[in-house]
């Protein structure tokens, strides 16, 4: 592992006279391998807090370390390895490939940065990090979620335009696999049955989603596949093991009853107003992966719009340990979701009664109102195009 440091980092390390990285006479393949294990690191101050940014010389993936302590500078290589391991797991890299990569990084060389082009790229990337710092978690030093969200850009290479993820997986496949993505990537996924809990109505979507998406991504999948406008708060409830989802209709469940884990809307500060003193853990939906819940749990509940209280029962139909999808895919759907702000289940039934009775005095008004509150008509292909952007 080669870690090339800016002057700010070298000052923290007490290495003001560090040498630049050695020039190694290598073949093209060996050069790619060297670059895959070579990183630049810079130190920024964002909102009066220190942030270390590592940038890979080949794949341009990044590792972000938030609020490093004085002792951390003595172990830059360990921090970087922790970030690499978390990042590769999020990308679905096989454990044996991660282990081989880290074993090749057993010895570290810390030196001064000498590439002006890389420094310019790091400064530009630093602006993106500063912009996204509002999503940093204070309880995490290595910001894996932010690292993933910051790497949606496309880089021009001799092989065409690729994302950092594609560059990384391609290089790993060449170095540690047979050249194919499948040789280094496992791609776990879940097939989920997402069903609106409305009596006498069968409205559902069956989707396949990568296991390493977070719950905010799952919210986006539900929004796109059902056609919700995302005007309102949402949440997920993970219940205690002995709770039967069939009991939902019997007690009008809220997240304060039998909830073990409450996953709230990270993008809406008002979501925190719905927390109470019940005995459950609460976490933002951008901070927890599907894999952390569905690997053990068979179901959970998603609620959209706490006024109308649209509860969706999410059931795991299948767990795929390999060969899963790269991005969410809708497999099957049935039924149209209720209009936004229709007034909950009672209001929905009243709405259906009126629009199915042309003689009702409210019929014309209800038809016109529903045109702007019903889900937009989309084909399966159009919905899957939207889902293709979620990864």
What confidence tens digit (pLDDT) does each residue in 134-149 have? Answer: 778 787 898 887 787 7
Cβ contact 320:189 at 8 Å:
yes
The mean-pLDDT minimum among 95-99, 134-138, 350-354 falls in 134-138
Based on the fold, state whether residues 117 and 208 are members of the same structural domain: no
DSSP run (H or E) holding 215: helix 215-226
The mean-pLDDT minimum among 90-94, 229-233, 235-239 falls in 90-94
Three-state DSSP at 239 gives: strand
Mean pLDDT within 51-61: 91
Based on the fold, state whether residues 24 and 134 are members of the same structural domain: yes
- Position 365 in a domain: no
Based on the fold, state whether residues 51 and 93 are members of the same structural domain: yes
Q: Quote the mean pLDDT of the chain.
A: 87
**CA trace torsion 342, 348, 351, 356 (10° rounding):** 150
Based on the fold, state whether residues 200 and 146 are members of the same structural domain: no
Neighbours of 359 (CB within 10 A): 5
Bridge partners (DSSP) of residue 42 are 53
Question: Cβ-count burial of 16 within 10 angstroms (0-12 exposed, 13-18 middle, 19+ buried)?
Answer: exposed
Number of domains in the chain: 2
Query: pLDDT class for 219, splitting at 50, 70, 90?
Result: very high
Based on the fold, state whether residues 196 and 90 are members of the same structural domain: no
**Domain boundary residue, one of 148, 164, 183:** 183
Three-state DSSP at 293 gives: helix
Bridge partners (DSSP) of residue 354 are none
Does 99 score more than 90 pLDDT? yes
- Position 363 in a domain: no
Cβ contact 13:3 at 8 Å:
no
Mean pLDDT within 45-60: 91
Three-state DSSP at 198 gives: coil
Of the candidates 388, 379, 389, the one whose C-alpha atom is nearest the C-alpha of residue 329 is 388
Based on the fold, state whether residues 232 and 381 are members of the same structural domain: yes
Give pLDDT tens digits for 244-280: 666 655 444 455 558 889 999 988 877 777 776 567 7
Based on the fold, state whether residues 142 and 213 are members of the same structural domain: no
Based on the fold, state whether residues 11 and 122 are members of the same structural domain: yes
The residue among 190 and 268 whose pLDDT is bigger is 190
**Domain boundary residue, one of 156, 183, 210:** 183
Q: In terms of residue numbers, what domain contains 309?
A: 189-337+375-387
Mean pLDDT within 355-381: 95
- Position 292 in a domain: yes
Based on the fold, state whether residues 119 and 178 are members of the same structural domain: yes
Q: What is the pLDDT of residue 25?
A: 54
Does 61 score more than 80 pLDDT? yes
Q: Length of the chain, please?
A: 391
* CATH number of the domain to which 213 belongs: 3.10.290.30
Pull the structure tokens for residue 222: 């539900």
**Domain boundary residue, one of 166, 183, 200:** 183
* CATH number of the domain to which 72 belongs: 3.30.420
Cβ contact 4:40 at 8 Å:
yes
Based on the fold, state whether residues 44 and 150 are members of the same structural domain: yes
Based on the fold, state whether residues 120 and 264 are members of the same structural domain: no
Neighbours of 20 (CB within 10 A): 11
Based on the fold, state whether residues 155 and 193 are members of the same structural domain: no
């Amino acid at each position: 592992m080669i870690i090339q440091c800016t002057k700010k980092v070298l000052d923290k390390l007490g290495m003001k006279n560090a040498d630049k990285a050695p020039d190694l006479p290598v073949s093209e393949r060996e050069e790619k391998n060297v670059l895959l294990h070579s990183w630049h690191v810079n130190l920024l101050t964002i909102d009066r807090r220190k942030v270390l940014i590592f940038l890979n010389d080949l794949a341009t993936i990044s590792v972000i370390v938030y609020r490093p302590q004085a002792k951390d500078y003595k172990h830059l290589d360990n921090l970087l390895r922790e970030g690499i391991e978390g990042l590769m797991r999020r990308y679905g890299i096989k454990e044996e490939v991660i282990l081989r990569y880290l074993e090749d990084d057993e010895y570290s060389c810390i030196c001064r940065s000498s590439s002006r082009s890389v420094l310019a790229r790091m400064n530009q990337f630093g602006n993106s990090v500063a912009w996204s710092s509002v999503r940093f978690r204070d309880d995490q030093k290595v910001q894996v979620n932010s690292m993933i969200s910051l790497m949606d850009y496309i880089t021009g290479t001799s092989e065409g335009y690729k994302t950092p993820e594609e560059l990384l997986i391609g290089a790993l496949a060449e170095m540690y696999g047979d050249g194919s993505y499948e040789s280094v990537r496992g791609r776990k996924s879940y097939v989920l049955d997402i069903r609106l809990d409305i009596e006498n109505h069968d409205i559902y979507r069956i989707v396949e989603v990568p296991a390493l998406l977070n719950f905010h991504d799952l919210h986006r999948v539900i929004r796109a596949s059902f056609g919700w406008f995302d005007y309102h708060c949402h949440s997920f409830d993970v219940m205690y093991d002995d709770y039967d989802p069939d009991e939902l209709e019997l007690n009008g469940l809220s997240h304060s009853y039998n909830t073990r884990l409450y996953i709230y809307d990270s993008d809406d500060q008002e979501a925190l107003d719905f927390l109470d003193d019940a005995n459950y853990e609460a976490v933002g939906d951008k901070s927890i992966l599907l894999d952390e819940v569905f690997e053990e749990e068979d179901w959970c509940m998603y609620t959209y719009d706490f006024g109308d209280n649209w509860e969706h029962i999410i059931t795991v139909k299948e767990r795929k340990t390999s060969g899963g999808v790269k991005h969410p895919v809708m497999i099957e759907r049935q039924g149209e979701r209720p209009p936004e702000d229709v007034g909950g289940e009672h209001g929905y039934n009243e709405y259906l009664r009126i629009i199915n009775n042309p003689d009702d005095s409210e019929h014309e008004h209800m038809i016109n109102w529903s045109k702007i509150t019903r889900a937009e008509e989309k084909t399966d292909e159009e919905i899957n195009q939207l889902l293709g952007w979620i990864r």
